[in-house]
Each structure stands twice: as C-alpha cells, then as structure tokens.
A and B are shown apart, each in its own frame.
Chain A
Amino acid sequence: MRYLFALRSRMTEVRQKTDFLRKEMEFSVNEVSSSEFPVIRRGVLKLRGQSGQECQVETPGCFFHTHFGSIPHLTPDDLQYVKDSLSCIPLNMTLSTASVFADALAGYEKSVGAFVGYPSSVVYMSLHDPLVPLKPAMNEKATIGIWNRTGKKKLTPEQFMDMQDKLKPDSVQIMCDMDTEMEGSSNQRLTKSYDSSLRWLDRCLELMKDRSSHYPVLATVGGGSDPWRRKNFCLEAANRKVDGFVIDGFGSGWIAKWKEWEVTGSSLFGPHEALIRESIRSLPKDKPRFIHAPLSPTAVVQLVRMGVDVFDTSYPAALADRGQALIRTGDFCFEVWTMSEKGYFDDLTSLSTRCGCYTCEKYTRAYIHHLIACEEINAGVLLMIHNLNEYLKFFRDIRKSMDEGKFHLWMPQAEAGRQQADRD
C-alpha cells in the first residue's frame, strides 16, 4: 500500500556526448508514496570537485551555509568537533558575497574552495545568502542585481557566466528573477519575472555549451505567487538540461514571512504551502530539489514530506548569531534557548545534557551566558559548534527513520516541538 514508486537514475549517463567536460553530479533517489504521506524520498547526491575530490550527500541532507566563503563563526579546524565530515557536506557559497573576490581569483591557481580555506570541499554556488535580506527592485530586463558591500552589481547572463568562470565552483544555481512581491505583484511584473528567468536560463545553458567551463547547474523554480505560472515554470525548466532545482521565488521577504507564519503557528508556510506542493509535483522525480533558507527542524520535516531533498545550515548559524541554542529535548522535539536570559547566569550544567558535542562537553550554560553578556565572539563559536551538531544529527535521524520505515513518527511530535519552541 505504501510502496508505489521507486526510481533510480544516473544523470551523467543520459547526458549528451558533447557534455563530456561537464563535471559530474549524480543523484539516486528512492521515492515512496503512500496514502498517508505524499512522498518519502531518500537518496544520495554525488558531487565531484575540480581536484577530483568526491562528495556524497545523503538526502534529505544539507550543505554548509557560508558567508564570504566561511562557515559563520568557525575556523576550518573547528570542524573536527562536527561529526559529519567535509566529504559528505559541500560548501554552499553565495554569489552575492563571493562576487567580491571573483577578480582576485584570476591569478589564483587552486580552487575557490581552497581560497576560502576548505581545499577538500566541493563548492556549490547559489545566488543569495539566505541570512541577508534580499534587497528589492534590483532586477532589470537584461540583468539581475547582486548586492554586496560595494553596492549593487548588475549582471547579464554573459557577465554571470564570466563571474562563474572566475570563481570556478563545482556546481551553479543559474541566475533568475526572483524579485517579485509576496503578494500584489502585477500580472505584468509576474510575466516579466517568468520570461526573464526562462530566457536567462536558456542563455546560460547556451553560453556554457560555447565555453570550456561546464558546471552541473540548478534551475530556480520561480513564478511568484501565481500557481499557474509556477507549475508552467517547473514544466519548462524540467524540459531543459539541468541537474536539479532550487525552490524559491516566493517574493522578497519570504524567509521572514515564513518565520512569522511558523511562530504564529497557523500554517507553516502560509499560502506558500500550496505553491510548494504544486511546484514539486511538476518536477521530475529523479532530480534533487534544493531550498535555501534558515529552516527550523519543524519546517524541514514538512518540506521533506513535500519532497525537498537538500537544505543548508543557515538555521544553526542564524541561531548562533542571535545567541541562541538549538536544544533537542526529546527524540522528536526541539527548543530554542536564548542564552542571554538571566536564568542561565549561574547554571553550571552543560548546554544540552543529551548532545555530547565539544561545547556541551567542555562548557556550561553559565559560561555561554557570560560570553554573550561580554559580547565575546566566542559565544557564537561555541553555539555554532553545538547548533551544527544538533542540526546535522537531526538530518541523520530523519534519514535513519526513513531507512527504518519510521519517518511518520516525526509528524505529531514535531508539531509538539514547534509549540514548545513557540513558548520560548
């Protein structure tokens, strides 16, 4: 009854011969549907870096969110305290911050991963940093705008590909027009966004053919808040030679809005829930679906249930930025603790009694409270190490529950966890 559909594919095999230079990105996935659950997808995404390094991402899984190429708060040696190794977590760099050093990389012999301190990592270049609010009104007919500290940088598809050629990542999210309003964008605006995104996608794919550089590419599934456009966009994108999809384009400020919806508890993704479902239903099952946002465990579980495969670690980073700890309080329950709260002042117990990470083993809640009170950056370091461990273990546990046929157990408890988190 539960087992309806299983699928396995090797994307590299079906590619045209002209693509022999393309670096590989393989995805194999088992998708199971049932009457209770729309989909349960369990897969492995293989990526290969320029220096031949391989990266196997178990899905549902996540990439390392980075800011200017660094994992926020951490130095590379801190990863010894993170259980999952670099060989199973690619670096997700963002063009908006990486663009500042694109020119400098011209004379650099090693990979962009080496440049940012992670020579053995496979690098995926997405467009925007999910922790930096998207500035509005930045895209024009022929160009997208990338914001960095020097201001707005306009990129045509040619310039976009030039910049990727300088940065040389191992896979790329193709530029798209995501700058619609959450609600109330005119039909004209939505049409423009739709047309530009498709046109740019085609142009970038065309440009890649003519150039020596080839990247596995992800198309961004946009279409604003209009279900018809979204569905069509998915169908169009699915017809192109892309290796996966990024679900985005809900309008500027969607990440903040999601957070608000999650806290008020009405519906996790508000009116976007139907949009996501529609999008995903129209996507080919054998290609990975990405989402770039700081998502709580509750939101992740919901999206996994809808068929999203790849996330990022911006959520633990966002919590660490704010002096907050992600605490697992039960097998399926999480809470978010704000460590600056007075009650932690003289609490000499370890951060989480169930975690056992470096932070939990060596420090106390009182010490982290002290570091926050003194505005020491070490607070972010210790919280990030803990939050990352907690978040990555959460993904491991999701996969394990799938492998054991117990994924359904996440549902009611996750809801309870959400309500508990709200109280904090």
Chain B
Amino acid sequence: TSADKFTIIEGCSVSKARTGLLQLSHYVIETPMFMPVGTKGCMKGVLPEQLEELDVQIILGNTYHLGLKPGPELLRKAGGLHKFMNWKRGMLTDSGGFQMVSLLKLTEITEEGVQFESPYSSSNPSTASKGRKKWKSSTGTEKAPGSPRADGEAVVPSKDLMMLTPEKSMEIQNAIGADIMMQLDDVVSSTTTGPRVEEAMDRSIRWLKRCGKAHSRADEQFLFPIVQGGLNMTLRERSVSGILEDEYTGYAIGGLSGGEAKNDFWKVVDASTTLLPKSKPRYVMGVGYAEDLVVCCALGADMFDCVFPTRTARFGCALVDAGQLNLRLKQYASDHTPIDPTCKCLTCQRYTRSYLHHIVTDIPTAARLMSIHNIAYQMNLMRRIRNSLRVNRFPEFVTQFMQNRYGDKEIPSWITDALTSVGIVLTRDTQAVSSDSIDSQSDRKKRSADGEETGEQ
C-alpha cells in the first residue's frame, strides 16, 4: 500500500533530481518540498491561513517540546495537533531524540532509550519527585509510577532522570497525529568517528523495529526510518540494507548538518540517495540554506526541514537569491524598495526595507513580517525547482541560480564537485538562462498538468 503514495511526475534527464507528489493523510504535497519548523504547535508569528497563502504544504513539529507542553494526553483529547492548532495540511514530527541531545544534559544512551536530565528538576524543584516516574505531563500533575517497561512507558531510575524510548516516542507521535513520524534514532554528532558511529547505526535499526511494533496508527501516519552511519559509506550502506528489510513510505537521511565538512555532507547525501529505492521520497534532515537545497535536489533528495529561515527572520535577516539582507544595518534606513521586488508575499507587497529596518528589533509584528517573507522565499525556491524539473530545465535553473547567488565570486568547490558528480557542470561562460523564462514555461506546462490532475487530487 505504501508503494503508491509517492508518484514521480518528472525526473531530470541529467541529474538525480525529480519532482513528484506524496499523498499524505491530510494533504498531497509536491516534492521537492521544504518544511518550515513550527516547534511548539504553531509557526512563530505566522497564522495557518497565512502559511496556506504562502503555499506551505507541510510543517514540522517537535515531539520533545509537544510531549512536555501541552503533552500527549491533551493532544489526544483535542483530536490531535492538526485540530488543536488549526492546520489542515501535511505535518511531520521528529522523534524527540535530537532535541534531547541538543537541548538537555544527556546522561546516557542505553539499549532501552535516551536517558536525560529532567528539564524540571534543577530549575523547578517542586516538580522533581523521588523514585521512578513516568513522562511528566505539563499540567504539573504527577502520574503514579507505573510498571517499568511492560507498557512501554518511559521510566527513570532516579529523581532527576527521564528516558525517551522508541515506544514512548511513538506514543507521543501517535497522540500528535502527524502525517509522517520519525523513528527514534541513536544520534551521534556528525563529526564523531570510531566504533560509537557503528553502535549508533546498529542501534538505530533495532530501535526502528521497536518503533514499528509500537506504532498504533500505521494506516494514518507513515513512519520514516532514518539512515545513519556518520560519514562512513560502508556504515551508511549497512544502515540502508537494515532499513530496507521492511517497506516504508519514505526514508530520511540523518546524522548530517552537524558541522561536518560540506565535502563530506554532499557525498553522504549522494551515496544515501543512490542506495535508497528510487520510487520513495527521501528526506534530508536539517537542510535549509538555499544552495544546500538546490544541490540536494540535484542529488535526488525530495524533502527538507530547517529552523534557519524562520529563526534568522526574527533576527532581522531577509533571504534573497543573492544571499541575505541584514535589515538591522543602517544602509537600509532610507531604502524604499521591498526586500525582493519580485516576491509576491505580504511583506514585499506592503513594506519597504526602510520600514522593516526601523521596526525590526522593536515590535513582534516585525518578526511576523520577516518570517512571512523568508517562508515565501523558501517556498518560491522549491517551486522554481519543481517548475524547472517539469520542463526538464533543471540544469539550466541550477546554473542560473548559482550565478545569481555568487555573482563574480567563485562558486564553492563542494558545490561544483557535487553538481559535476550528477552531470551538471557549472562553467563561467555558461549561456545565461533567464530564470524568468524557465518559470513562465513551466507555469504553462504546470497549468495544463494541473488540469489533468484535478481529478486525482
């Protein structure tokens, strides 16, 4: 059944890029697709209707945060996060494991799960309790300590420790009710080497099987496995073959975007997409810079997420093809042009850089306006990629994009290497192709394609 959820509409005749449709419970998303991160049950500063207006088709929620607030119990009672937050389209939740590693003092990873210090114990002594207890709900009410493992509940051996198990992650993610859930994986830093990488990779596969067993809503929510193995291609290969023992709707490539060299990054993405089945969507976790998105698409990736576009917006940085504009800088004080004259978002239609410069650090509305533009930028970029693929002009798009981005500066070698490896050769004297013409051609084609597909959607 999972086989027919993903339809490839067009593949690039040169690179590994492709555009397709992924049918989820709540929405059919177009790929390649970027997923903005709405950590705690909302997109900071952007209302769901505004996200729809920006053509956002799927958002990401964080299981760790949602598990604490408002907690799985209330989410179940509310009929899932979609209903709770008034979001009608696609949603993906992470496993919660990454947040524990990055936000909390991690004490130990055992075969049982990820053990960490309770976020409550040190700062709020009133909520710390003695003895074993379950995952705390955010009402502040403690539940009676349950039997340790039989019910799959997380238990803690001492008052300051909590544990996230694959079963617990699934339970919370089932309560959230996202269209796509991620397996709990054993996360190691992407720069780690040695036997720990192998251990984490093997354990992630064992945890995947436990996740699959604990998953209670398999018909509504797709479980995505995560390919691990650090920067070691042999381990990546073993990870993929372990994962492929069962069939899944889509696959994630994890353990990247953690400070590894870009040269290592693209090689792992490239190797992983080659190993994974061609007929399934591939999700590269934690990727959000425009050039990374373009390169990863060329390497055959279909889905991405990153907090960067929305986080940088709140600090006053606007994304444009040529890079970023830091609107806090004085040079924008009397700049009466929009962030991007070609952008159709509310912010660019209504506001100048000058006004944004004057309010950017002072009022919450500024964070809203900046987030709206940056999400619009990400969505436009993905749409341009999809449109160029539909008219089989992806290599031209990539060439034009990199020229716009780097201008007279040299294009980083990892980008030229990565693109060359899939047959897109960037040269200085490449005939400049107007991205406008690609966009308008593909719009025409898209319109006719949309006409044919209406029945299907």
Contacts and interface: CB of A to CB of B under 8 A. Distances in A.
Interface of A: 67-78, 100-101, 103-104, 106-109, 115-117, 119, 149, 342, 345-346, 348, 362-364, 366-367, 370-371, 373-374, 376-378, 380-381
B70 A345 contact: yes
A115 B45 contact: no
A373 B66 CA distance: 12
A366 B357 CA distance: 35
Contacts of B357: 104
A75 B368 contact: yes
Contact of B355 (A69, A109, A345, A346): A69
B328 interface: no
Nearest to B86: A362
Interface stretch (B113-121, B162-170, B358-366): B358-366
A76 B350 contact: yes
A68 B362 contact: yes
B363 A67 contact: yes
Contact of A363 (B86, B138, B364): B86
A166 B238 CA distance: 68
A408 B241 CA distance: 80
Query: Counting chain B CB atoms within 10 Å of each CB, which of A108, A346, A362, A374 scores highest?
Result: A374
- The size class of the interface chain B forms with chain A is 35 or more
Contacts of B139: 342, 345-346
9 contacts: A68-B362, A75-B365, A75-B368, A77-B50, A101-B354, A117-B355, A363-B86, A364-B84, A381-B45
Interface stretch (B36-44, B292-300, B393-401): B36-44
Interface in B332-369: 333-334, 336, 346, 350-352, 354-355, 357-359, 362-369
A78 B355 contact: no
A127 B45 CA distance: 29
A348 B77 CA distance: 9
B78 interface: yes
Interface string B368-387: 11001000000000000000
Interface string B56-80: 0000000001000110001001100
A107 B334 contact: yes
Contacts of A117: 350-351, 355
Query: Counting chain B CB atoms within 10 Å of each CB, which of A76, A108, A117, A362 scores highest?
Result: A117
Given A68-B358, A101-B358, A108-B352, A377 B70 contact: no
B69 A378 contact: no
Query: Counting chain A CB atoms within 10 Å of each CB, which of B50, B77, B364 scores highest?
Result: B364
Contact of B69 (A107, A348, A374): A374
Pairs A-B, 8 closest by C-beta atoms: A374-B40, A70-B365, A362-B86, A377-B364, A101-B358, A117-B350, A378-B42, A370-B70
Contacts of B365: 70-75
Contacts of A75: 50, 346, 365, 368-369, 372
A371 B359 contact: no
A39 to B, nearest CB: 38
A107 B336 contact: yes
Nearest to B41: A370
Given A370-B69, A376-B40, A378-B44, A106 B364 contact: no
Contacts, number: 114
Contacts of A378: 42-45, 47
A106 B334 CA distance: 8
Contacts of B322: none
Given A77-B346, A367-B41, 13 more contacts: A68-B358, A68-B363, A72-B363, A73-B364, A77-B53, A104-B354, A109-B336, A115-B354, A345-B74, A345-B139, A348-B77, A371-B41, A378-B43
Interface of B: 40-45, 47-48, 50, 53, 65, 69-70, 74, 77-78, 84-86, 138-140, 333-334, 336, 346, 350-352, 354-355, 357-359, 362-369, 372
A109 B74 CA distance: 52
B45 A108 contact: no
A110 B365 CA distance: 21
A348 B78 contact: yes
Contacts of B78: 348, 364, 366-367
Contacts of B362: 68, 149
A388 to B, nearest CB: 14
B346 A76 contact: yes
A78 B47 contact: yes
A76 B53 CA distance: 14
Contacts of B47: 78, 378, 381
A348 B40 CA distance: 18
B346 to A, nearest CB: 6
Given A376-B40, A376-B44, A367 B85 contact: yes
A108 B336 contact: yes
A70 B70 contact: no
Contacts of A69: 355, 359
Contacts of B69: 370, 373-374
B355 A115 contact: yes
Contacts of B48: 362
A67 B364 CA distance: 10
Contacts of B86: 362-363, 367
Nearest to B46: A378
B138 A373 contact: yes
A78 B368 CA distance: 12
A119 B351 CA distance: 10
Contact of A367 (B84, B366, B369): B84
Nearest to B351: A117
B408 to A, nearest CB: 29
Contacts of A363: 86
A278 to B, nearest CB: 38
Given A363-B86, A377-B364, A68 B359 contact: yes
A71 B70 CA distance: 29
A78 B350 CA distance: 13
A270 B336 CA distance: 48
Nearest to B53: A77
Contacts of A109: 336
Query: Counting chain A CB atoms within 10 Å of each CB, which of B53, B334, B346, B365 scores highest?
Result: B365
B334 A104 contact: yes
B364 A380 contact: yes
A101 B355 contact: yes
A380 B363 CA distance: 12
